[in-house]
Amino acid sequence: MNLLRRRAAAFALLALLSGGCASPPSTTENAAPRAEGVRPKQLRANQIIVTLIDDSTDRWMQTRQALAADYRLSVVGDFPLTSIRVQCLVYEIPSDRNLADLITQLRSDPRVESVQENQVFSGLRGGHSDMYAALAYGANAINADRAHKMATGRGVKVAVIDTGVDAAHPDLRGRIAKTQNFVEGGEKSFARDAHGTGVAGVIAARADDGTGIYGIAPNAELLALKACWYPDGNSSKALCSSWTIAKAVDFAVVQQAHVLNMSLSGPEDALLARLLARANQEGISVVAAAAESGSEIGFPARLDSVIAVVASDPKGHLEQPPWRKAAFVAAAPGIDVITTAPNDGYDFLSGSSLAAAHVSGVVALIKEQNAKLSPAEIARLLELTAQLGQSGQASELPRIVDACAALANLQGRKNCN
C-alpha cells in the first residue's frame, strides 16, 4: 500500500469519542472549573513560590498570613512537596512592585527557606506533517520492534508530565494506572489535550489489538499527570509553570515512578532542580526534550542527571544543535510521527517532545530487564549502544538510541538478533 493510501487508512480510524476523566488532587487550591479561555491561576503573571521547612500546619499557616501582611502580598495557593519535605506558599504581587527586589528581600527573611518566581514552561512541538509523511516509523528506526522479543515495559511506571491524556482512547485503554490534574482545579475533560495524548501513545500505545499504532513500551503503566494547559482552543503550544510541574514531579516521586517523561522546556528553575535531584536519588530516570533552536538547551534538559533528547527524521537525519552539553544527548524519531490524538484520533506530530517519548519508552524496556540499574547506568548504556545518524561526525552529533542493542548488551550479547 502506498504512503498516501496508508495515511488515508489510518485517518479512517477517526471517530467521535468523549475524553477521559481525572481525579483532582486534594489541596486547598482546588477551585471551580475554569471558564473557557480563562488562564488558570497557576499560570498567571507576577507570582512567587515561597518554601517553608516547618511541617506544622498551624505554624506555616500563621507564617503564610504574616508574610502576606508584611510584604503586601495576596495569597493564591499552597501545596506540600512531600518528596523534599517542604511546604510551598504561592503569592501574587501587585503589578507595580519589582519582582526581583521582592525576591531579594524575602531571601533574607529567616522565616523563608527559598523563594523564586513561578516560571512558565512550554511543550516542545513542531507543526503538522505534509501529505506524504512516513507512517509509524519510530519503533523500527530505534529497533524497539525487535526489542519486544526481550521486553515490553511490563511492570514499569512511566510518569508523563504534560497536558492531560485521553484515557478513553482505544490505544491507551488499560495503559494508564493513574490520572491526576494539577492545573485546572477539577476540570474533568481532557478532550483537547493533544500533546499529552500524543506523547502517551508513543510511549505505551497498546500492541497487537488490531487498532492504530503500538508504543515503544506497550505494556508499561502510565501516570498521566496534567501540568500543562492550552491558552485557547486555537493554540497548539501548551503552557506549564513551576507551580504545576513541581506538584506533578513530587507526585511521581511519591508514587515511585521508574521513568519521568518531560516533553517540555523552560528557564532554569531551582525548585524543580531540587525535585529532579530527589527523583534521581530515588532511582527515577528523567528524560526531557531539548530545545533544537536558539543558543540554550533548555531546562530541565540541561541537567547532567537528565537524559536530553533531540529529534531525528524518518531517514535518520539529525542536525548538530547550536548548544553543547557535557553529558550524553540522545536522538530519536521526532519528525512526522503518527501517534494517538484525543477523541479516538490519530495525527502526525513533530518535535523533540515526541523524540523524548521514544527514549522514555526505551528506558522502560531497560528497566523491565534490570530494575536495579541507576539513572546514570541507564544513560551510559544508551550512550554505549546508540547509533550514528545519517548526518555529521560521531564526535559532533547526538546519536540515535537503539533499544535492541541496549537490551542485548544487558544480556551480554554482542549483537541484537
Active-site amino acid positions: 162, 195, 353
Helix (H) or strand (E) holding 115: strand 114-117
What's at 101, amino acid-wise?
Answer: D
For the beta carbon of residue 136, count every other beta carbon within 10 angstroms.
Answer: 17
Sheet holding 329-333, edge to edge: 176-181, 221-226, 157-162, 259-262, 285-289, 306-312, 329-333, 399-400
Neighbouring-strand partners of residue 176: 222
Q: Which residue has the cell 491561576?
A: 41
In this structure, are residues 322 and 298 in contact, taking their beta carbons and an 8 Å threshold?
no
Which 8-state DSSP code applies to residue 266? B
What is the distance between the alpha carbons of residues 64 and 78, in angstroms, rounded to a whole number?
Answer: 9
Helix, strand or coil for residue 298?
coil
3-state helix, strand, coil in the chain (%, to 5): 30, 20, 50
Length reported for the chain: 417
Q: What's the distance, CA 173 to chain centroid? A: 20
Cell numbers linked to 111 = 522565616
Q: Which residues contact 23 (CB under 8 A, 6 or more apart)?
A: 179, 180, 181
In this structure, are residues 79 and 88 in contact, taking their beta carbons and an 8 Å threshold?
yes
In this structure, are residues 303 and 392 in contact, taking their beta carbons and an 8 Å threshold?
no
What is the distance between the alpha carbons of residues 161 and 176, in angstroms, rounded to a whole number?
Answer: 13
Q: What is the CA radius of gyration of the chain?
A: 21
What is the distance between the alpha carbons of residues 124 and 138, in angstroms, rounded to a whole number?
Answer: 18
What is the distance between the alpha carbons of residues 381 and 334, in angstroms, rounded to a whole number?
Answer: 21
Nearest CA-CA partner of 310 in 268, 367, 273, 358:
358
Helix, strand or coil for residue 380?
helix
At 299, phi and psi to the nearest 5?
-115, 135
